Structure 1
Amino acid sequence: MAIPVSTAAAGSTPDTAGKKSAAPVGGAAAISATRFATLMRPMLEKTTPLFALLSQTIATIEPYVIALVAYFNHLATILKPYHPEEFLPAMCGFVLVFFGGNFFTLCAAVEAYRLIGFDDTKIALKKLKHSYDVAMAASKKDDEVDADGDGVADVKQIDARALAVRKAAVVAKAVDPDLVTDALVAINGGLMAVVATLRVRFAACVTIGSTVGEMAHNAVQTHAEPALLELTPSEYKKWVPCGLRYGCQLCGFVIAWFLQMSISAFHSATRGAQMFARGSLTYATRRGYLNPTAIDEKGRVFNACVFALAFVGFWSQFWSGYSLPFPLNILLLPVTFAEYAMRFVVFMLG
């Protein structure tokens, strides 16, 4: 009869033996982690100057950003008695009512971001700003010491690069990474909504343009192509069918783009009329010119103003061919650049 022989050490229980046999697994994981750290250390050492340069750049730009924010805060303080929260949306709404069709790509992007990611981004950025202020306070406190023992804090005399690196280290320790993640997720969600909206609109224009171009090419091929072939020299006749086909598709795309501008102009006129009516009626009510019930967005006065203004603005845009008059085409030049940049992004995404 065979006697079973235990492989466990003498004096050890089965559980203890199992634990001892599992120990090499942890040791292998630790060895793998050590090897990975050894491989990554040279790469991190090479990227250290890059992070130092980035920190120094941020430290250089930071005073200008702070000064710009302080200037806007000062401007907001000056305009506060005039209630900018009322007249600024009203002015933007007026521009949208009469000229929103010129910026339909930008309006679509802003509207998509407002619906999807604006609220989450605003909340996340507020929390992140609070965390950043705490980090800056900690960095400022760390930079001040009482060197001469007179009870007065003296700024440490260190070079700008070392100071930038130290500030970056303090910020990295003080800022909550979860807040950074929330902000990035909110911004990314809003940007994805913008990209999806623009791609859908571009795809609709391409589809409608191709369909219209195909129908136009059928008619042109039957009636105009024979005459063009007769008038064209023999060495260039081969380009006539191709040129007609792509010319018809281009015309169809232009027609589809104009239709999309008309739809967007109607949307911007409606949205702008709502903003203008809300701001102007609130101002008039606060001044005592109107009854407080006039700003009720479900009331007859408010809706009548919105629809009347939206109709006038849309008809004005359509009649003028979606063009900007002389003073506004200069004042709104930055917005025009942003619109064309957004259109370029749409074409690249398409």
Structure 2
Amino acid sequence: MADKKDTTTEQPKIDIDISKVAETLQKIGKPLLAFISTVLPVIITSSQKAYAFYHKLPHNVVQIAIGLVFCFFGGLYPALFAAIQAAKLGGISTVRDALKDLANEAMIVLEESKKDDNVDADGDGVADVNQIDSKALLLRKANLVMTKINPKKVDTALAAISKVWLSVISVLTVQFARTIALSVSISESMKKVVNRYITPTIQSATPTEYQRWVPVVVGWICKSIGISLAWYIQAVISAVTTALEGGKIAAYAILKFFKDKDMNPGGFIPDDLDETYLDEGIAYVLAVGGVYFQFKLGFDMPFPFNILLFPFEFAETYIRWSITSMASGDNWA
């Protein structure tokens, strides 16, 4: 009888929690839609302008920039840079076209949403969207998306991105196999200790209806710590290798830039760049500077640059988690 009583008392609590979540979602519905409508066009337009500016730059300038980025930031975003390199072989142009199609569809929906915001069907001088609650507004906007978007184009774009993403993940899984194995080993060792000495204490202090979540959350935490430690070691290794590679790219591009501009400071640049060790000397200097710079940062982007570069931070974290989970199995945490 006691078990039956506990079950009946737990259900109302869960229903209340779900109702609270639904109420919260309804409250933030309007502000969230307003935020998306304001920010998304800015992101799309800025990305298009940045891409157009990138293509207008001289080839040597682009190579210098790429080399310096690899040299000074390769250890901060090893998985992201490796993914970009793999995507170049796996069809990055396909992804670019797919993103362009998705951006165009998003802009169409946003323009239609702006028109919808001004609709006053009853002619009372107040826009219809300002006379309905958040739930009705969400349904109205969802219907607008479903009717204005091109489903075939969106499906084709998402399929293309997924195909390239799977090929990239496959390459990265092999490339970072040792890092993945190390992260799994750290996580499993830590989880055994935590489950023996800490998890029972946490469960005893947790309400009965939420105790089943304790092992899952503990597994996530152990997995996160294992991934962080293993990838920190990988960041140190990547910092050295990418600094050397980036230094060579930047050094050669710098000499090529001066040569194309008929500039030869001190007369050190020969006519044939393949017959000089000057580029290697510059490359090693840049590499040492790049490794030292990343070491001083602790292989982590400091504030406030981590906020400005949040998309890169998020992408790096997501890629690390994805390839580790895929290679080791979803149930290892």
TM-score normalised over the length of structure 1: 0.47
Q: Which has the larger radius of gyration?
A: 1
TM-score normalised over the length of structure 2: 0.49
